[in-house]
Homo-oligomer: A and B are copies of this chain.
C-alpha cells in the first residue's frame, strides 16, 4: 500500500490514542479530532478503525522482522555464535521499540483487538518471530554457551521484558535510547548467560 502523508498522520494519531485509551476506548471521531479534520474526511483515507489498527500492527510486524533479518545478516547469520546472534536480535528489537514507542505499544497491546482472521494471522507471525529467539537460545544451550534453560520460557521472559519498554520508558528522561538499548542487551545476554568469551 502506498503510504501517503495523510495516511501516516492518521496512523500516528491513532497509535497515540490507542496507546492512551486502548483500541475500544478510541473512536474514529477521536482520531479525526486529533487531526483537526471531519470524521467524513477521515473516511476518504481509511475504511474503518479496524483497518487503521491492522495497518499499524502489520507495518510494525514488518519493521520487527526486517530489523531482525538485517541484524542476523549483520553478524554473519548462522556462522556466528548464539551469543552474538542473541545480542543482535535483542538490540534490533529494542531499537524498533524505542524508535516509535506509540506504534510499538499498539503492536504489543492492541493487536488483540484485531478481527479474528487477522488476529490469527498476526499470532502466527508473532510466533514465528519469537521462534527466532527460541532457536538461538536452544542453540546456545546445546553448545553450552548458554545456561541450561527452557528456550520457550526464556524467549517469553526476554521478549516480554523488551516489549515492556512501551509501558514505562520516556525517551526525554534520564536514560537515552542508545543507553537503554545497551542496558537491555546486557540484561538479556546475562539472563541466558552467554559466555563472555563466546563473542
Contact = CB atoms under 8 A, between A and B. Distances in A.
A41 interface: no
Contacts of A164: 156-157, 160-161, 163-164
A158 interface: yes
A117 interface: no
Categorize the interface residue count of chain A: 20 to 34
Contacts of A158: 161
Given A187-B191, A191-B190, A157 B161 contact: yes
Q: Tell me what chain A mostly uses at the interface: helix, strand, loop, or mixed.
A: helix
A149 to B, nearest CB: 7
A183 B147 CA distance: 11
A167 interface: yes
A63 to B, nearest CB: 21
A150 interface: yes
A61 interface: no
A175 B25 CA distance: 35
Nearest to A169: B156
A156 B175 CA distance: 13
Contacts of A22: 22, 24
5 contacts: A149-B187, A150-B175, A152-B175, A156-B164, A190-B192
